[in-house]
Structures are given as C-alpha cells and as structure tokens.
Amino acid sequence: MSVTAGAYAPMIVNSFLLDFPSPNEDGEHADRLYRPETASTIIQAVVLAWEPDWATWVTPTMRNNQGRQPGELVVGWFTYIRGVTVTSLPAGAARRFADGTLIQAAPEFADVTADTVVATRDALRSQSALQPAT
C-alpha cells in the first residue's frame, strides 16, 4: 500500500495501490498476471475483500496521462467504481459487480493505449461516474 501527501489538503479515500511487475519484467510469471481472466479475478478479489470506493489496474504512464483532479478516480485497464452504473463505453465492456461497476477498457492489456484510457475516462465523466458514490 502506498500513501502520498500532496500540496493540497489530504483527502480520506477508500482506495489502495497494488504494485505488480511489468508484463516483461519477470518472463512468463509476470505475463500470467496480465491475462484478462487472471487480472479480472485479482481485481474482483480485491473489491470483495476490501470493498474500496474504487480500484484500478493501471500503469504509471496510464495514470500520468489522465490529468485527474483530486478525488477523481484513476482509469486503467480494469476499473471498479462503487455505487455507479455505467451505461456505455467507446470500447471495452462494463458490467455490474458487487456494489458498483467493473470496467474493462480493452480485451487485452496490450490493447490499452493512452487514447483508450482517455476515451474511457471521457465516457465516465459524461456519465458523472468519475467520483464513486459514497
């Protein structure tokens, strides 16, 4: 888990960071983490165990390209948002899970681009889904 203090007033949020090696970092073993069914299972287990407001499977590059505001969630390959229903996405898929919505921005991790993340983020913004319901 990682906690970072910023230049703005601290906010208490129910989210966390789980840091995995990059797909190429540890050969075959790391690659297994990036299979869609494995990644989906991991994020679903996290949601069920910790009941976060949001959870995401994201790289530093994806995170840094979003220009998010304090309190807004980070969109990644998989993103879970509690208390919201997402009705449409430009690509990928969304489905109800637990107390919210689980979004998969692209079928495979390798298919996720900066444009995919921004388009998904824009779709969530247009549905007022960038901040979890509390």
Read off the pTM.
0.83
Q: What is the pLDDT of residues 59-69, one digit of tens each?
A: 888 888 888 87
Per residue in 77-98, pLDDT (tens digit) is: 999 999 999 988 988 899 999 9
Neighbours of 114 (CB within 10 A): 12
Helix (H) or strand (E) holding 80, with range, is strand 78-82
Amino acid symbol at 3: V
